[in-house]
Structures are given as C-alpha cells and as structure tokens.
C-alpha cells in the first residue's frame, strides 16, 4: 500500500512517483519519521528546515499525526519569508507553518524568519542560528521556475557566500503565488523576500522534496533532464546525497511520457 508506481534515479537524486498527492504526503511523512528516529539515537536534538506552500499540505497533514516522535527534541526552521506583509497575514510562511504544524506539536524551538523590519540584521541573526544548530534535514518543494526556497534562477548561486539573503522575486515566482491561491492578484504579491540560500540548504544531510500537481510538471522535467546549473536551481538536488523527490502522476506527467517514449525506441 502507498508504494510508488515508478522510481527514477539520476546522479544522487531519486524521484518516487505516486498515483495521488495524498499517497505522496503519506509516504514522505513516513520516510521523514524513519530518518528522524535513528538520528535520535545518535544526537540529542535534530534540526529541520520546513517549506511553506500548498505543495506541502498533504505532507504536513500526515506528519503532525505522528505522536511517537520526540518533538521536544526537534528545532524547527523555515526557509523563506516575504518582506513587508503584516504580522498576522495568512500568506506569511511562518504563519502557514504555525497553523499546520508548529502549534500542533511541542517542538524544542521554532525559529521564525522576521520579514517585518531590520531585514539585513535578520539575515545575520538567522545565519547565526543556522550555524549554531546545523541543519540535519530539509523538507522542501520546487517552484514553477525551478526555484528552491526563494532562490529564483536570476539570484540562485550554488556557491553563495551568504546563508540568508534578501532577494527580489521574479515574475514567474510571483505569479505562482496567485496560481496557488495564496494571493488574489499579481500586484498583491510582495516583490522581495528573505531566503535561505542554496549554500545554507546544502549543509543538510537529508533532503525530502514534495512536488505535486500539473503546474510543477515542467519544473520537475527540467530538474531531471537539464544540465546541473543555476538556470534550473532545483537541479542542484542531483548533487546532494540522500535527496528524494516525491511526485504524483500530475507533476511527473512529462517525465513519464518521456520515459515511455524512450522505452519504445
């Protein structure tokens, strides 16, 4: 039950494809728990970075159900935050995770990015936290433009000297927020955000990437097929050990068609 219908492998990256996004979420949450439990035998605390997006919904819904996890030994972080939104705005990524996970389990600490004011100082503060609590696991998604966190192609740097930085969001990224139903209009989407850089994310040991939906099919195809470069930032996942993408038949539709066509030749 809840087995992938197909698994693809390229470089270090594994892609598990499921019939539905619900199955995707169930297995991704289960896999994370199976990583967490052995880590607790080796270290006192585990540091996890979470993504905030509708693509994470099914995964988060399954994850918080696990009451046999020692959540009080987990330090939680999130990977990006808009600049300038009101503190109580539901679109804020910290608020998204707060209502769906952070308030539902007794974490040892929850470390929010603050995009309200003093953003340059916030970059320094959050960088210090990430150095103090080295990342063990990153739970992420892929944007329609291939971004991870808010590292859009024009600002992505696989060797970024910074761990947290201020970025301007490209139009594809901003339109995605409307497509996802997070904002009513393009002009409502903030133009700038704080993001963990690819250099910061690469410090982790495990990467679980949830990518459901037709709107991600093009990005997933290029993640798998293209040369590894900042043009498609998510291709960096192919460089990282213990990196897994959880896709559904919608997001993997182009890949599945390609593999089927290739197999007939």
Q: Which tens digit of pLDDT belongs to each residue from 38-75?
A: 999 999 999 999 999 999 999 999 999 999 999 999 99
Q: What is the pLDDT of residue 17?
A: 98
Nearest alpha-carbon partner for 101 in 92, 110, 90: 110
Q: How far is CA 3 from the centre of its chain?
A: 22
Mean pLDDT, the chain, integer: 96
In total, the chain counts a number of residues equal to: 265
Q: How far is CA 29 from the centre of its chain?
A: 13
Question: What band does 18 get if pLDDT is binned at 50, 70 and 90?
Answer: very high
Residue 265 has pLDDT above 50, yes or no: no
Q: What is the pLDDT of residue 260?
A: 61
Q: What is the pLDDT of residue 223?
A: 99
Question: What band does 116 get if pLDDT is binned at 50, 70 and 90?
Answer: confident
pTM of the model: 0.95
Q: What is the pLDDT of residue 173?
A: 97
Which helix (H) or strand (E) is 172 found in, with range? Answer: helix 171-179
According to DSSP, residue 76 is labeled: E
Residue 1 has pLDDT above 90, yes or no: no
Enumerate domains of the chain plus CATH numbers. 6-263 (3.40.50.1360)
């Amino acid at each position: 039950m809840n087995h992938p219908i197909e698994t693809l492998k390229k470089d270090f990256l594994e892609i598990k494809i499921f019939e539905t996004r619900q199955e995707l979420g169930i297995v991704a949450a289960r896999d994370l728990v199976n990583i967490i439990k052995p880590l607790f035998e080796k270290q006192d605390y585990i540091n996890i970075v979470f993504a905030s997006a509708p693509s994470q919904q099914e995964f988060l819904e399954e994850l918080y159900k696990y009451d046999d996890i020692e959540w009080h030994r987990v330090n939680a972080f999130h990977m990006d935050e808009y600049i300038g939104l009101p503190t109580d705005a539901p679109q804020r990524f910290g608020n998204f995770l707060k209502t769906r996970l952070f308030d539902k389990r007794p974490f040892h600490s929850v470390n929010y990015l603050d995009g309200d004011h003093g953003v340059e100082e916030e970059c320094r503060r959050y960088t210090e936290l990430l150095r103090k609590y080295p990342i063990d696991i990153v739970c992420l998604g892929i944007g329609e433009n291939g971004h991870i966190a808010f590292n859009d192609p024009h600002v992505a740097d696989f060797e970024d000297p910074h761990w947290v930085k201020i970025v301007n969001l490209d139009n594809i990224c901003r339109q995605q927020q409307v497509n996802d139903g997070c904002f009513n209009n393009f002009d409502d989407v903030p133009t700038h955000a704080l993001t963990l850089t690819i250099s910061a994310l690469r410090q982790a040991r495990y990467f679980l990437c949830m990518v459901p939906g037709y709107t991600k099919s093009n990005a997933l195809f290029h993640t798998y097929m293209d040369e590894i470069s900042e043009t498609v930032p998510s291709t960096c996942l192919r460089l990282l050990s213990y990196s897994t993408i959880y896709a559904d038949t919608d997001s993997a539709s182009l890949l599945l068609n390609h593999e089927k066509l290739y197999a007939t030749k």
